[in-house]
Structure formats: C-alpha cells, structure tokens
Amino acid sequence: LESEMEQPIHAIQKVSDSMPAFGIVAAVMGVVHTMESMGIPPEQLGGLIAKAMVGTFLGVLLGYGFTAPLAVLLEHKMNASVKVLNAVRVIL
C-alpha cells in the first residue's frame, strides 16, 4: 500500500523538478524571438525581453511554489495514513 501511495508523490516531484527547466526553455525561446526583432525600437524590445523573463518566472513559480509543496503535502498525508495502519497492525 505504501509503495502504491508513493507513486503519485514521485510523479508530482518529477514534474516539480522539471518546471524550472520549462521556464528556462521559455526564456531561451523569448530571447531568440527578441534577437529576431533587433531592428525594432527599444520600447518594443523591452516588452519582448519581459515576456521571456515571465516564462522563467512562471516555470520557477509553478515548480517551487505549487507542485513541490503539493508533493510534500501528499507525502505528509501518506505518512499519517501509514502510521494509522501500522498502529492497527501492531494492535492486531
């Protein structure tokens, strides 16, 4: 039961670990798009650079701000359930 309960936790942890990488990919794609547009005025270039940085921010925020705490929460709930089951096992 414990190994079955750990599977979704490990999957969410892997997603959490990969989200910053998606942010980096978004930043690189934004920089490439910005480099393609080098002839435009600086005000517009600033907007393109900002969009690239938003991708990085979202990747880090989703990874460390949402999915990692969710995995920890699920792990704590699993540990609580396992403790109850272990107590029942010892009593029986």
pLDDT tens per residue, range 38-68? 888 888 888 888 888 898 899 999 999 999 9
Model pTM score: 0.72
Q: Are 30 and 51 in contact (CB under 8 A)?
A: yes
3-27 pLDDT tens trace: 888 999 999 999 999 999 999 998 8
Q: Look up residue 2 and give its amino acid.
A: E
Cα–Cα distance, 73 to 80 (Å, whole number):
11
